[in-house]
Structure 1
């Protein structure tokens, strides 16, 4: 099935990293033209969010869990009706039934989806989780191995495999699986915690302590890891370490009791369930978008954004849709939301800067792109586009050259050498301009623009 289960979404949130995309330069010959293109993130994962404020008195009543479930099921069933026989739509409906607690119906749909698309890792992961919840750990392990074979980077699959192995008493295989997950996802604190558990069972206390310490370094409020750390320290004769770890455990234990009580109502809490519905609507919208029904996709993504005030995927999808349809101001508004929701993600900031340039707000675009260069110094996109913008406006020629040179140093791509050639030409260095443009044309021989730019420069000599 083409969509992740809710648990996989949660895992992906932990392992998500900022990803700078490739920017396709659309310029003129030697003096780079002003057209810029934007590539919004096509997929993402919503973060924890609060539903929009309740309506004012006299407005519509607040949503209930039952109403949200009905909306979620209606959307998934309609999507399947509009895309009959589509494995992704079938799997999505299975996910919905699973979130409603009907695992039998969910498994039936997942099996049908896998029959249509046996190489979908999400389907195998969903089936594995269903088996795990039924305590069929051998079957779960088999399915998670299949998931990992289909997608070695599937979020947390090795961690789950490790849990299944641990419950089957296969200690060494559990250690290997948890270790693979910790290596693949450096912020996977749970894998370090479980490594501490398994290694303690094997009386490898020094190794266990190291993993417990890593777990609490990654998640300082990870209560149960402090308890494991205290026991490991005690076994190693480290009385001071054991005392400090137990002190932290005691401090955090009280707040955890309250948190556990809150978690009991997750499935009956409208605010929490609204996030699930938003994720479903986002996935439905992606199916419609793939089928060319953009108006329906927009409707679903807007509803998802209204339900989940911090959902990223639906907003990124809306931004891309608006950019593709020439609605740059609406696209920029979504970019600003994404910058607030994921302040550490330079992709959103870059997108905003490009849109600001397209909207003619050069000063804002310059500030934004300069910040991208600061925050993502190992990626060439911000440097190249800021250099291009200076060249387009006929200003700061020396700064444009420095930025373009930095972009080409970071990534020796055809687009970067093209802008570098334009910057050299603007600064009067025809020899270096020719060399850079020749390099661009050699790296991308199918690009007529690069060849024409080089030939025009040579004709002027």
Structure 2
């Protein structure tokens, strides 16, 4: 089979993940060109020109802006899955339709096959998902998504040797994916190789990508290796991050017991028992499915978002936009889809549509200064100078150490 030249287009597929820390580290979001233009001097000059052009040519632009308000097909015409009150069946049907459509559009594309594999996995059809992912890696051995998916299936089925093989291949392609070292370490431990798993997690934590789950896993490995003081350290660090972590408190109790400190072990065990009494047990490995509306919505958002990326890679930008709009309709609090739409609207000159998205992002994440920056620049472009300056003032208040917000304010203030 001919090897694909497509690039991997997204982070590793979310076929499931270990529990996240209660306050996960935020990754900087990719901003639309609105913010990028302000962030550099060239962009600042462009912003001045843009604001000035609006002031001087407002009459000539009115017809163009009026066109922005033409009603486009929306949730009411897309179907019940996008209505705001879908059933599990609605979400499943929409996801199946989207995956089938993208595969039909690009039948020779590993990126499209990956979307279908994800859908099949979340439908509970692991053999069919594996078939699609195997097809991906046979065509493109650098498909990190497929290696991860195959490794995850092997992990769930208890085939630890195969899981290790696939996770090693996945981490070689996706070294920055924070989930893979955790799963690889767990699979190595199950194979009876904790001495390989521990250094892997130590390096993972040193890289700054480590989190609560990494510390808990490392502590458990140290317990298996009978390195009890190291286990105590790992669990104490985990408890420091999240005192309500049952796994960390239980591990700490065991570590203190092995170290011979019965009193401290009793204290940690008491905290663990209190947490168990107050919180419903959760699976150590969470797999999204169509079990209920909440999980079904997560799967639908994932499938629509991945399909949007496939369309974008193939240059079908209108279809990519439609998928992002549907993703946003599925989840009114989904930030990534709105960031993608903001970039599309700004790039295509649909300022009022971009402004509406900026308002949504501002309301969803009011403490993110870049949202206020984007909002202010768009307001300035639309001639609403005072509101634009107020938005930039808010950005400055949120992040007083960054100069780009002050520079943007100066540009808007000095525009004719």
Q: Into which bin does the TM-score normalised by the smaller protein fall?
A: 0.7 to 0.9
Runs of 5+ unmatched residues, structure 2: 1-7, 53-74, 76-82
CA RMSD of aligned residues (A): 3.1
Partner of 2:237: 214
Query: 1:5 aligned to 2:28?
Result: no
3-state SS, counterpart of residue 203 of structure 1: coil
Q: Which residue of 2 aligns with 1:249?
A: 272
Change (3 A) 1:192 1:375: same
**Which residue pairs with 2:154 in the alignment?**
131
Alpha carbons of 1:153 and 1:267: their partners in 2 closer, same or farther (altered >3 Å)? same
Shift of 1:161: 0.9
* Structure 1: gaps of 5 or more residues: 37-51, 53-59, 394-461
Larger radius of gyration: 1
1:92-111 mapped onto 2 (5 Å cutoff): 92-111=115-134
User: Which of the residues 182, 191, 194 maps onto 1:168?
Assistant: 191
Q: Which residue of 1 aligns with 2:247?
A: 224
Q: CA deviation at 1:204?
A: 2.0
Residue number in structure 1 paired with 2:388: 365
CA displacement, residues 319-351 of structure 1 (integer Å, 9 cap, x when unaligned): 222222222222122223223334454333322
Residue 18 (str. 1) matches residue 41 (str. 2): no
1:319 equivalent among 342, 347, 357: 342
CA distance in structure 2 between the aligned counterparts of 1:176 and 1:9, rounded to whole angstroms: 21
1:15 to partner: Cα distance: 4.8
Q: For residue 35 of structure 1, report the CA deviation from its aligned partner.
A: 4.7
Query: How has the CA–CA distance of structure 1 residues 290 and 150 changed in structure 2, closer, same or farther, with 3 Å as cutoff?
Result: closer
The count of corresponding residues between Structure 1 and Structure 2 is 368
Q: Is residue 77 of structure 1 aligned with residue 100 of structure 2? A: yes
1:191 and 2:201 aligned: no
Q: Judging changes above 3 Å, is the alpha-carbon distance between structure 1 residues 205 and 214 closer, same or farther for their aligned structure 2 residues?
A: same
Give per-residue Cα distances to partners, 1:28-53, cap 9 Å, x unaligned.
Answer: 59x954559xxxxxxxxxxxxxxx9x
Q: TM-score, normalised by structure 1?
A: 0.71
Describe the SS at the equivalent of 2:376: helix
Aligned partner of 1:233 in structure 2 is 256
Rate the CA distance shift 1:192–1:354 in 2: closer, same or farther, 3 A: same
Shift of 1:378: 5.2
